[in-house]
Amino acid sequence: MAEHLGGTAPIQTAAPKTATVQPLLLSHGTLLCRNLANTRRFYERFLGLQVVRHAKPAMMVRLHSGLYIVCVCIGENVPNQHVLTHWGLNVATRAEVDAAHAAALAEQTTHGIRKIQSVRERHGAYGFYLQDLDFNWWEIQHEERTINHFFNGGDRFGDDVQATESADGHE
């Protein structure tokens, strides 16, 4: 089973036959938040995401796909996150990255944005990271390559592990 998502070649949507689990799709991930109303406002008004409240302590977040994030409210005990545990949002142009960065600086207090890193070229993309009111990190970037570029190209490195503690390390 395959479909086209922004690339020239179809992407495989089935797990390898040798895998123990045979999933149909990668469906969701989870984020934590302190206050659903404030977080929803940030997700909808700043990040432009679609949000639906599906449970008393949680809401679902998505953008143009079947992959969604469940945002669960746990109150003030939300842990701080490392920049490498971020969610990425791609925009159409470098100018849109610059505009988003300017908006983040201008609306930092309004949305409770904790940190905003500078815009720069990193791992083949032009973008920046910001940490939201719930300590979650978001990368807003413009990248010419599609996801198919990476998967169609196959592994670039062997099985040896290289540790990093910074976003610069995942070049």
* Cβ atoms of residues 46 and 107 within 8 Å: yes
Given a cut of 60, whether residue 7 has pLDDT beyond it is: no
CA distances from 38 to 42, 45, 102, 165, 171 (A): 6, 10, 21, 30, 33
End-to-end CA, the chain = 31
* Cβ atoms of residues 73 and 57 within 8 Å: yes
Given a cut of 90, whether residue 166 has pLDDT beyond it is: no
Identify the structural domains of the chain with CATH numbers, from first to last: 26-145 (3.10.180.10)
Mean pLDDT of 77-98: 96
Given a cut of 80, whether residue 109 has pLDDT beyond it is: yes
Could you give the percent of the chain with pLDDT greater than 90?
Answer: 67
> What is the pLDDT of the chain when averaged over all its residues?
88
Distance CA(60)–CA(64), nearest Å, equals 13
Mean pLDDT of 85-95: 96
Query: Given this model, what pLDDT does residue 151 score?
Result: 85
Distance CA(29)–CA(143), nearest Å, equals 23
Distance CA(43)–CA(65), nearest Å, equals 16
Distance CA(160)–CA(69), nearest Å, equals 31
Q: How far does CA 18 lie from the centroid of its chain?
A: 29
Which of 119-123, 140-144, 153-157 has the least mean pLDDT? 153-157
Query: Given this model, what pLDDT does residue 3 score?
Result: 39
Q: What is the pLDDT of residues 9-62, one digit of tens each?
A: 455 556 677 888 888 888 999 999 999 999 999 999 999 999 999 999 999 999
Q: Which of 151, 171, 148 has the alpha carbon at shortest distance from 6?
A: 148
> Where do the H-state alpha helices sit in 12-145?
36-41, 94-106, 108-111
Query: Given this model, what pLDDT does residue 162 score?
Result: 75
> Where do the H-state alpha helices sit in the chain?
36-41, 94-106, 108-111, 147-153
Backbone angles phi, psi at 60, to 5 degrees: -105, 145
